Structure 1
Amino acid sequence: MIIITGANGQLGRAIVENLLTLVPTEQISVSVQNPEKARDLEQRGVRVRRGDFDDAESLAHAFEGASQVLIVSAPRLGEQALRQHRTAIDMAKAAGAQRILYTSQMAANPASPFAPAPDHAATEEALRESGVAFISLRNGYYASSAVPLLGNAIETGEAVAPEDGPVAWTAHDDLARAAAITLTKGELNGITPPLTGTEALDLAGVAEIVSEVTGRPIRRIIVSDDEFRARLIANGSPEAVANMYLGYFAASRQGAFAHVDPTLARLIGRPPMTLRDVVKVTLQMDK
C-alpha cells in the first residue's frame, strides 16, 4: 500500500491523481486531517483515513499496511515542523514501511536565511537516522509563487522588492508527476538532485513575463530590506510573514534557488512547464 499524506493540499492531491494513472486504485491510501474533503477519492476506490501529524495514534491507523509512505512537508516552521515530521517518520517506520519519501526543497540547508530550508535539512537528517530507506525529493521553488512575489505590480506598474537572485521556478504538476513516478519506478534514492524547471529567472524576469502576458508594463524597483519590511508591515503583514519574505530574498541572492538540473525532465519524460506556462494559467484563474 502506498500512503500519501496531505492529500487535500495542492501537491498531495496532484500526486494522488498521478498515481491513479500508474497503479491500481486499491494500492493507494491517503492520510488527511479532514477525511470529508477527500470523499471524492474514496468514491473512486482510494482508501481514506484520518491522519494528523500531531496525533501519533491517528498516523498509526492511517499508515497501516504501508509499503511506502510519502510525507508531504507540513505547512509549519521551526521546532513544530520538525516535531511533526519526526512523528510521521517514526510512525511510518513502525507501520513497516520499506521506504519513506519526503517533499523537501532545493534550498535545504541548516544555515539558510530562508526559514523552511533549515527545517527541511533537519528532516533529512531525521530520515537518515530512521534506518529506513528514504528519498528526499528536493523540489524546485514553486512557480505558483512567482506572481504573488510581484505584489500589486500589475495594477501599479511597479514591482518593488529587495535585490534578488535567479530562481529555477518549477510547476506543482511536474513535481507531482515526478513523485508519483518515483513511488512506482524507484529511480531515485536518498537526497535527490534539485528537481527543477529548465530556466532560472530573477524577479525582473518574472515581471517581464507577466508584463508580456498581461500587456501591462511593469518596472522593477529595488529597495533595501528594511524599506521592504516597513512596506509589508505598513500594509498589514505580520512580522513573521515579512521575515519570511526577506529570508527568501536573502537566500535567492546567495544562489540558493538558482541551480537548473535535468533530473526532473528525465523523470517525467518531457520538458517541464516553463514559468510563462504557469503564469498564463495563474492569471487566467485569477480572472
Structure 2
Amino acid sequence: MTTLTITGSTGEVGGRVAHALAADGVAQRLLVRSASRAPDLPNTDVRVAGYADHDAAVEALRGTDVLFMVSAGESADRVEQHRCFIDAAVRANVEHVVYTSFAAAADDATFTLGRDHWATEELLRESGLAFTLLRDNFYLDVFELFADRDRVIRGPAGDGRVAAVARADVARVAAAVLREPAAHRNVTYTLTGPQALTLDQIATTLTEVRGEPYRYVDETLGQARESRSSYGAPDWQVEAWISTYTSIASGVLAAVTDDVERVTGTAPITLEQLLRTAP
C-alpha cells in the first residue's frame, strides 16, 4: 500500500484532491497547520506541521511514500519555506513529491512568483526525490475576483491571451496522479484550459453569464502601480499583482495543452462552463 500525504486540504485545490481520494476509498494522511480546520473525511490520519517547521514536518511525514505538495501561500520567504519542507521530506524518507508549480516557471519569469516555482522545481531536482510537476496556468476561478466593485478588470495585459485552467481540473489531474504515482514519476505536465482568452473576452463572457456589464481596462505600468498604491501592500506583492497582467501580455501563457485530458480522460472546462456551474 502506498502511503499518501496531502497538503493544502483546507484550500481550494488540496481540498478537492482530498475529497476525491476519500470518495474513492483511498487512505490518506492530511498535513495541516491547524487540526481543527482539517476536513472530516473517512480513512484519513491528520498530522500538524507547517512548511517552515522542519522538525514537526519530519515527524509528520515519516512513513509517507508520496507527498502532494501544494505551494505555500504567497510570501517574501516562500522559497525558504519550500526548501525547509523539501529537506524535511528527504529526511523523512519520502520517495515522490507531486508539486503544484506554474506554467511559465523560470528563473526570470515575467510573473514574479513564477520564479519561486522555478526555484522550488530546482530544489526538487537536486533533492534526489522522484517528482511530478503540475505546472498550472493561472486559475480560471480568479478572473471574476479581479474585477472591482464597478465590474472592471484593470491591468497591463494588452491583448495578450491566457489559457487559464479551472482549479477543479488541476485537482482532477492531481488525484489521478496520486492514484497511480509510479506512472507519473519525473514527469512535468502543463495544465491549461481549452481556450486562450484575452481579458476583453473574459469580460465579455462574464457579462453574458452574469447578466451585468463587465469590461477590461488596459493600464500602463505607471497606472497599474498608482491604482494599487492605496492597498498598503509591500512592494514585492504589488509587483506580483502587476506581473500577473504583464505575463499575460508577454504571450507565455497563451499555449493550450491537452495534458488535463491525457491524464484524466476528460477535457478541461471552459470559463463559461465554470461560471454556469459555480455556486
Give TM-score, length-normalised by structure 2: 0.91
Counterpart residue identity of residue 143, structure 2: A
| Identity across the alignment (%) | 29
Q: Which residue of 1 aligns with 2:38?
A: 38
Counterpart residue identity of residue 23, structure 2: T
2:135 corresponds to 1:138 = yes
Q: Which residue of 1 aligns with 2:52?
A: 54
2:161 corresponds to 1:166 = yes
Q: Which residue of 2 aligns with 1:73?
A: 71
Q: Give the match's secondary structure for 1:193.
A: strand
2:83 corresponds to 1:86 = yes
Gap runs ≥5 in structure 2 = none
Divergent runs of 4+, >6 A: none
- Within the candidate set 256, 266, 272, 1:270 is matched to 266
Distance in 2, matches of 1:5 and 1:214, equals 34
- Across the aligned residues of Structure 1 and Structure 2, the Cα RMSD in angstroms comes to 1.8
Counterpart residue identity of residue 98, structure 1: E
2:188 corresponds to 1:189 = no
Give TM-score, length-normalised by structure 1: 0.89
| 1:13 to partner: Cα distance | 1.0
| 1:11 to partner: Cα distance | 1.0
Q: Give the match's secondary structure for 1:119.
A: helix
1:191–1:105: structure 2 CA closer, same or farther, 3 Å change rule? Answer: farther
Gap runs ≥5 in structure 1 = none
Deviation digits for residues 77-109 of structure 1, max 9, x if unmatched? 34x111111121111122222211111110211
Distance in 2, matches of 1:159 and 1:56, equals 40
- Within the candidate set 84, 99, 114, 1:117 is matched to 114
Distance in 2, matches of 1:163 and 1:38, equals 37
| 1:219 to partner: Cα distance | 3.7
Q: Which residue of 2 aligns with 1:220?
A: 216
Aligned length: 274
2:21 corresponds to 1:19 = yes
| 1:147 to partner: Cα distance | 0.8
| 1:208 to partner: Cα distance | 0.5
Distance in 2, matches of 1:232 and 1:181, equals 39
Q: Which residue of 2 aligns with 1:231?
A: 227
